[in-house]
Chain A
Amino acid sequence: MLAFIIRRVGQAVIVLFTVGLVAFAIFRFMGDPVENMLGQEATVADRAALIERLGLNDPIPIQYLRFVGGALQGEFGISYRLGRPVSELIVERLPATLELAMVSALFALAFGVMLGVYTGIRRDGFLANVIMSSSLIGVSLPTFLIGILLIWIFAVEFGWLPSFGRGETVTLFGFWESVLFTVSGLKSLILPAITLGLYQMTLIMRLVRSEMLEVLRTDYIRFARARGLRRQAIYFTHALKNTLVPVITVTGLQLGSIIAFAIITETVFQWPGVGLLFINAISFVDIPVMAAYLLLVGAVFVTINLIVDLLYFAIDPRVRFDSPGKGA
C-alpha cells in the first residue's frame, strides 16, 4: 500500500515536470512579451532594461531552472498585464473556480447516479426513455450554448436568477471569497454550476445505466433475488456498489476536466475564477499567468488521479493488498 502510494507520487512528479517543460516552452515560443509590454514609443535602452529585468538574456537551461525553482516555491513571476505576482492572482481567483467546480461535480454525481440507476432499473419505461433521449442533448450541445440558453430562459425570460457575476461573497480564513453563504451568491452559482456539470451528469448517468444493466445480469444479483431480498437492497446495496468502481474513475477524471473547462463557463457567466483569468491572459500574451495556469491544471489532474486510485482500495476489497489469510 505504502509502496503503491510512493510509486504513484513519483509518477505524478514526473508528469508535473513534463507539464512544467511545456509551460516553460510557451514562455520561449509564444509571441514577444517585451513588445506587448512596452508599446510603440519605447527606446532600445528601455527594451534592453526590460529584457534584463525579465531574465530573458540568460541561457535557456538557466531560465528553465529558475522557472522550476520559482514554481516549486509557488512563484510564477509577475503578470505582464496586471503587474502583480501571479501566485497572488491565482490565490485570489482559485476559490471562485473551486467552488463552482465542486458544486458542478456534486450536481453531476448526484443527478447522474440517481438518473442512471433509475434508467437502468426501468430499462423499458417511458420516463426512462425520455430521460435517455434528452441526455443526448446534454452530451451533444456545446457548453457555451447551454449556458446562453439557461441565461435566456432563467435570467432573461423569467428573471429568477442573475445572468453573470458571483453575487455577494463572504470572506473565509482571510482570503477565501465564498458564495456559498449568501442568498445572492448561491443564486448566481446555480446557472454556471448546471452549465458546467450538465455534460458530466449525462456522462455519469449513461455510465451508471450501462453498468447497472451489466451488473443486474450477474449471478450474484440472481442469487440475491433468489434469496428474496428487497428490491431496494438489491438495487442499491448489491448492484449500485458494483457499478461504483468505473463511476469513480470517470467522475474523478471528469472533476479534472470540470476545473480545466471551467474556462468556457466562466467566460459565459463572467465568473471571476482562474479560467476567466486565463482567457484574459491569452488575449494579452500574459505568459506567466498562462504557464502558472497550465501547471495548476496539471497538478489538479495528477492529484485527482492519485485520489481515484486510492479510492479503489476503499471500494473494492479485491485490490487491497493486505487482505487477511487466503482461502481455506
Chain B
Amino acid sequence: MSDQALLSIRDLVVEFPTRRGLLRPVDHVSFDIHRGEILGVVGESGAGKSMTGSAVVGLIDRPGRIAAGEVLLDGEPIHRLSEDAMRRVRGRKIGMVFQDPLTSLNPLLRIGDQLVETIRTHLSVGEAEARKRAIAALDEVGIPAAARRIDSYPHEFSGGMRQRVVIALALAAEPELVIADEPTTALDVSVQAQIIALLKRLCRERGAAVMLITHDMGVIAEATDRVAVLYAGRLAEIGPTPDVLSRPKHPYTVGLMKSTPSTLGEGGRLHQIPGSMPGLRAIPNGCAFHPRCTKRFERCDKERPDPIPVGAGQIACWLYDPAEGDRHAAARAELAGAGSDPAAIATAEAGEGAA
C-alpha cells in the first residue's frame, strides 16, 4: 500500500438548491481509499452514501452539484474536470455497480454488444479482440458457457447472473476503483454472498480498490477492510472494520450495532435508537445526532464535531475530544461496554478471518 491514497475525498459538500431551500445530502465528508482496499460505507437511507458515490464519478443529477471540497484520484483533482474528461475517467479509472441488476442492463442490446462497446470506448482494441476480452470477462465473473451466452439478451439471465454481467461490465476496462452501490440489495439472500465474494476476489486479483456502499452489516463484516459510517450526510465514524463492528465508539454506531440482528446471537429483543434520522430540511444544530443521543452534553447542540483521530480511526463526537479531558470517561466506558456485544465481535472476527 503506497502512502498516497488512490481516492481521497476532502470536505466534500453536495448541495441541491430547491424551492424550499438548500439541501445538503453530503456535508463535509472526508475519507481516503487506498489501493487494494475495500472500504465499506454504511448508513441509513438518506444518509448520503449513494450521493457520495455519485459525486465521486460526477453523476449527480441536476440541479445538484459539488458545492465545496475536493475529490482526488491518484492525487489529481477530478471534481472539476470537463464532462468529456470525466467521461474518460468513468469506466476506465472508476467502475460502478448499481443496486438493481434487472434494470441496469439495456434490455434491447445483447450483453456482448454492451461489453464490447464499453471495452472499445476505453481501450484501443479491435472488434475481435474486444469480443475475446468480453468472453474472458464473462468467464471470469462465472457465467457458464460464456462464449455462447455472450449473444444473449439481459432478460435471458437470472437476477444473480445479471449482476455478474453488471460486474463484468463495470470491470471491463480495468478500473482502479470500483464503486459498488448496494450491489446485493436487490438479490436473493442465497446469491448475495456469491456476488460479494466475486466482487472481492476480482478486485483483489486486479488490485482495484472498492467503495462498497451498503446498509447490510453482514456484507460489511464479510468483505471490507475499513468502514465509514455516515449519518445525515456527515461522517460519524471511520475505522478498521473489526474495530468499528466490535468496538464502536460513536454513540450512533453503538446504537447501529446493537440494532443489527445477528444469526450468531442469543436472540432477544433488538435495540432501537430512539427517534429517527432527521430529514435534510431539519438538520439540528451542533452534532446532527445529538437529539437522539443518550450521552449528549451541553456542547453537543452548539458546536459541530469534526472527526477526531481515536486509535486507528476517527470519530466525530465531542466525547472523544482531548480538550474535554477525562470528564466523559464514564460515558465512553459505557459505550464501549454496550458495543462489546459478543455476537457482533464474533461476526466481525469471522469476517476478519475470511479476509
**A positions within 8 Å CB-CB of B:** 218-220, 222-231, 233, 237-238, 241-242, 315-318, 323-328
Contacts and interface: CB of A to CB of B under 8 A. Distances in A.
10 contacts: A219-B104, A223-B98, A226-B59, A227-B96, A242-B107, A242-B108, A316-B107, A318-B107, A318-B153, A328-B157
Interface residues of B, number: 38
A228 B87 contact: yes
Interface stretch (B69-77, B116-124, B221-229): B116-124
A327 B118 CA distance: 23
Contacts of B149: 328
Nearest to B153: A317
Interface in B151-194: 152-153, 155-158, 161, 166, 169-170, 172-173
B109 A229 contact: no
B89 to A, nearest CB: 7
Contacts of A242: 106-108
B143 interface: yes
A316 B107 CA distance: 8
B286 interface: no
B121 A327 contact: no
B108 A315 contact: yes
A228 B95 CA distance: 9
B24 to A, nearest CB: 22
A230 B96 CA distance: 16
Q: Top 7 nearest A-B pairs by Cβ distance?
A: A228-B91, A228-B90, A226-B96, A219-B103, A327-B158, A227-B91, A317-B153
Contacts of A324: 152, 156
B168 to A, nearest CB: 11
Given A226-B59, A228-B92, A220 B158 contact: no
A223 B155 contact: no
B306 interface: no
Contacts of B169: 223, 227
A326 B156 contact: yes
A328 B158 contact: yes
B105 interface: yes
Interface in B202-259: none
B108 A316 contact: yes
B144 to A, nearest CB: 6
A241 B172 CA distance: 23
B15 interface: no
B117 A229 contact: yes
B42 interface: no
B100 interface: yes
Interface string B27-64: 00000000000000000000000000000010100000
B61 to A, nearest CB: 9
A229 B91 CA distance: 8
Contact of A317 (B59, B87, B108): B108
Interface of B: 57, 59, 87-92, 95-96, 98, 100, 103-109, 117-118, 121-122, 143-144, 149, 152-153, 155-158, 161, 166, 169-170, 172-173
A225 B95 CA distance: 11
A313 to B, nearest CB: 13
B98 A226 contact: yes
Nearest to A221: B106
Contact of A237 (B57, B90, B107, B117): B117
Nearest to A218: B103
Given A226-B59, A226-B91, A325 B156 contact: yes
Contacts of B104: 219-220, 223
B155 to A, nearest CB: 5
A227 B156 contact: no
A35 to B, nearest CB: 60
B91 to A, nearest CB: 3
A228 B122 contact: yes
A326 B100 CA distance: 20
A159 to B, nearest CB: 48
A241 B90 contact: no
A227 B88 CA distance: 9
A173 B65 CA distance: 64
Nearest to A244: B108
A15 to B, nearest CB: 31
Residue among A218, A222, A241 facing the most chain B CB atoms (10 A cut-off): A222
B96 A327 contact: no
Nearest to B107: A318
Contacts of B117: 229, 233, 237
B121 A230 contact: yes
A230 B85 CA distance: 11
Contacts of A323: 153, 155-156
A326 B159 CA distance: 12
B108 A241 contact: yes
Given A223-B169, A227-B95, A230-B121, A317 B90 contact: no
Most A Cβ at <10 Å: residue of B106, B109, B117, B122: B106
Contact of B90 (A226, A315, A326): A226
